Amino acid sequence: MISHATILLDVIFFFGIREHAMGAIVNGFGYDGLFRASCATFAVFSDYMRPAIRLAALAKLPVFYIWTHDSVGVGEDGPTHQPVEILSALRCIPNLDVIRPADPEETAGSFVAACERSNGPTALMLTRQKVPNLSEIGINDRRTGVIAGGYIARKETCPLELIILASGSELQHALTAANELGKGVRVVSMPCFERFDRQMSAYREKILPSSCLKRIAIEAGVTALWHRYVGIEGKIIGIDRFGLSAPGDTVMKELGIVPESIIQAANEF
């Protein structure tokens, strides 16, 4: 007799180019409750799924979405496939956790967060381009930091002068810029606004102390939602326009998503 057994079963469906139907069917699995269902496509095509996503959030279904090609780093596919506004649009859906991890370890933490959540859907926003393994940050810090929504990726070693915030593929640029700017610079990884906002106020104050008003955020997308973290005196490096067709690295450089933009913004305070 076997007691307390756990059966792991993978069931894979190939939906084809049917994003709305895919989201609706995943909701069905979520309502049934037998499986922890997920689905995947390019981030820009989440717009076709939006009614199903909104319903999942409204009904508190514990499903999750894997959306790749999350920025202008898509490259040669051009503006139609570069989701500059999609990330912020998804963040505006109540009860949807949107996680944008920076490297493999943050991605591992994102999957844990998605699987553990029982009262609503989670979106994992993944890059197309290669990103470095940010080994200067402890593995446990990266994994548990994602679950908290935001964490200190680089701590200042003298009195705090500046905080740089970043998510996803831009965290590497924040770290590079901080190393150039000096010892008084803190880097905060913010992979999930929603999870960070649910933390106790003491934790949020520890990560983003109100005494430091010099703040810069960088993300390869529209800038509006970052104002809640940088305040009226902060600066945001982002993309408030549609992209262009070129290799991903070229597009990023052309649109200013590089460490040099952070350094310039810091020197303008």
Tokens 């649910």, residue located:
198
Known active-site residue 19: yes
Q: Is residue 26 included in any domain, yes or no?
A: yes
Number of structural domains (the chain) is: 1
Q: What is the extent of the structural domain holding 194? A: 19-267
The amino acid sitting at 24 is: A
Q: The domain spanning residue 113 has which CATH number?
A: 3.40.50.920
Q: Is residue 208 included in any domain, yes or no?
A: yes
* Cα Dmax for the chain: 71
Report the sign of the C-alpha dihedral through residues 171, 174, 180, 185, in that order.
Answer: negative
Q: Is residue 9 included in any domain, yes or no?
A: no
Alpha carbon distance 100, 21 (integer Å): 24
Q: Is residue 5 included in any domain, yes or no?
A: no
Q: Is residue 133 included in any domain, yes or no?
A: yes
The catalytically annotated residue of 19, 106, 156, 194 is 19
| Mean pLDDT value across residues 126-152 | 95
Q: Is residue 108 included in any domain, yes or no?
A: yes
Query: Are residues 67 and 42 in contact, defined by beta-carbon separation less than 8 angstroms?
Result: yes
| Mean pLDDT value across residues 53-62 | 97
* 145 pLDDT tier (thresholds 50, 70, 90): very high
Is residue 225's pLDDT more than 70?
yes
Q: Is residue 25 exposed (0-12), middle (13-18) or buried (19+ Cβ within 10 Å)?
A: middle
pLDDT for the residue numbered 184: 96
Q: Is residue 69 included in any domain, yes or no?
A: yes
* 6 pLDDT tier (thresholds 50, 70, 90): very low
Q: Is residue 10 included in any domain, yes or no?
A: no
Q: What is the pLDDT of residues 38-49, one digit of tens each?
A: 899 999 999 999
The amino acid sitting at 260 is: E
